[in-house]
Amino acid sequence: MNAHDSEKVIGTLVSKGYTQVDTPEAAELVLYNTCSIRDKAEQKVFHRLQQFKREAGKGKVFGVLGCVAQQEGEKIFEKAPHVSLVAGSASYTKLPEMLVQLEAGGRRVTGLSLDTDETFETPFTRRDNPHRAYITIIEGCDKSCAYCVVPFTRGPERSRTSASAMDEARRLAEEGYTEIQLLGQNVNSYRDPSPPGWDFATLLTRIGEIPGIRRVRFTTSHPRDFVKAIVEAIDENPALCNHVHLPVQSGSNRVLAAMDRLYTRDEYMRRISWLKSARRNIAITTDIIVGFPGETEADFNETLALLDEVQYDSLFSFKYSPRPNTAALAMGDKIPEEEKTRRLTMVQERQRAIQLRRNSEAVGTVQEVLVEGRNQSLGQWIGRTSQNRTLNFSHAGGNDERLLGQYLDVRVTRAGPNSLVGESVM
């Protein structure tokens, strides 16, 4: 989502006559788009800003965008006095005006209002990937997970109208994009604010029916709003990728309740059973947080048991990171850092074995891949399957760059924990 925000910021500024350069050294204006989901990401921003401090004296202008900007606000000017612009994502439509203020001699310009009904729609987006295009369909979050800054940094939920999402997808298909990825903090909480009143499953289906669109992905789905109609839509339309990212965070009901996740383990497992009983083989991935305040060894073991039970195709795992403004800050029984590290390693080791087994099941099958790149040193092409697995493959046709962006059938010959290897089927 942050990467796509950057694409929209670049598109907006380029349309106003700015030119994008390759390095911060070559720029007159340097904008940092930031993430504050965990403390480490936030620290990185201030470290990077320090690196370029001296450049400010030479006339370079620095701005901080995104969640750290929204969270820290004007405090950023104190921590990094060479910064002259601070703007959260809800204010990006006003960026050109803010830059005019700076050019007119303004020294500290801010855009921190969150009370906007606007979504960040822009006619100009400079997309990095020539085949896959992101479309934000819902912004912000109305949940209040005890550990999470998103509701504070991205504001309340706002959905785009179905007509504007459909128009953007049709335009992208006409421009030659074949894969669309629908984005939202809780993408499946989408609710069309205009009269057709589409829910997420309907929008997903309609996007998958647009001529020229071969793949539709979506992220992230919140388990509470994950309904059976989404699985039925995937079953019925092959253009909808057979992959669902469904973050569980913990396998313990006690921890789920403390996190205020709004579902129990059983409710989550019911959604998993819908996915597993689908006609198509749907890959399931998740997010796990270890070391949430009060997480006992028994709670943690329930998370490990859940991994065994679900057999995820992949997961992102994180050590709990205390964040400003969140409810979990006041909770007692903090877990020491070394213990969080131990639990994280255990999750990752357990999952590695599961992934190796899951990936091995694909050996011998033929999978359609979108060709995304080439690994020159290995002499292999890099493809992605509908299930979102990386499949590196050799192709007798050789080294023709025109293969990029094509869809090819590849037979899987080997499996590792993180990727597959194969040969194209001629």
Positions touching ligand SAM (CB under 6 A) are 37-38, 147-148, 150, 185-186, 220, 222, 247, 249, 287, 289, 318, 320-321, 323
* N residues, the chain: 426
Angle at 125 between CA 122 and CA 130, to 5 degrees: 150
Give the separation between CA 260 and CA 249, rounded to whole angstroms. 11
- State which residue, 185 or 388, has the beta carbon closest to ligand SF4: 185
- State which residue, 111 or 223, has the beta carbon closest to ligand SF4: 223
Give the long-range contacts of residues 327-335, CB within 8 A, separation 24 or more.
327/144, 327/146, 327/260, 328/146, 328/147, 328/258, 328/259, 328/292, 328/293, 331/146, 331/258, 331/293, 331/294, 332/293, 332/294, 333/293, 333/294, 334/293, 335/291, 335/292, 335/293, 335/295
- State which residue, 258 or 408, has the beta carbon closest to ligand SAM: 258
- Tell me the pairing of strands 283-290 and 243-245: parallel
Q: How far is the CB of 304 from ligand SF4 (least distance, A)?
A: 21
Using CB distances below 5 to 8 A depending on partner kind, what does residue 37 bind out of ligand SAM, ligand SF4, none? ligand SAM
- Binding interface with ligand SF4 (CB under 6 A): 141, 143-145, 148, 150-151, 185-186, 222
Using CB distances below 5 to 8 A depending on partner kind, what does residue 287 bind out of ligand SF4, ligand SAM, none? ligand SAM
Within a 13 Å sphere around the CA of 341, how many CA atoms are in the beta-carbon half? 3
Instruction: Give the containing element (helix H, strand E) for 401.
Output: none
Give the separation between CA 155 and CA 123, rounded to whole angstroms. 22
Using CB distances below 5 to 8 A depending on partner kind, what does residue 151 bind out of ligand SF4, ligand SAM, none? ligand SF4
Using CB distances below 5 to 8 A depending on partner kind, what does residue 320 bind out of ligand SF4, ligand SAM, none? ligand SAM
- State which residue, 222 or 271, has the beta carbon closest to ligand SF4: 222
Using CB distances below 5 to 8 A depending on partner kind, what does residue 318 bind out of ligand SF4, ligand SAM, none? ligand SAM
- State which residue, 62 or 190, has the beta carbon closest to ligand SF4: 190
Q: How far is the CB of 50 from ligand SAM (least distance, A)?
A: 24
303 Ramachandran zone, left/alpha/beta (phi>0; psi -120 to 50) = alpha
Using CB distances below 5 to 8 A depending on partner kind, what does residue 232 bind out of ligand SF4, ligand SAM, none? none
Q: How far is the CB of 185 from ligand SAM (least distance, A)?
A: 4
Q: How far is the CB of 381 from ligand SAM (least distance, A)?
A: 31
- State which residue, 37 or 305, has the beta carbon closest to ligand SF4: 37
Using CB distances below 5 to 8 A depending on partner kind, what does residue 177 bind out of ligand SF4, ligand SAM, none? none
Going by C-alpha positions, the residue among 365, 370, 354, 344 that lies closest to residue 418 is 354
- State which residue, 99 or 289, has the beta carbon closest to ligand SAM: 289
With b for 16 or more beta-carbon neighbours within 10 A and e for fewer, the 373-391 pattern comes to ebeeeeebbbbbbbbbbbb
Q: How far is the CB of 60 from ligand SAM (least distance, A)?
A: 31
First-residue to last-residue Cα distance in the chain:
37
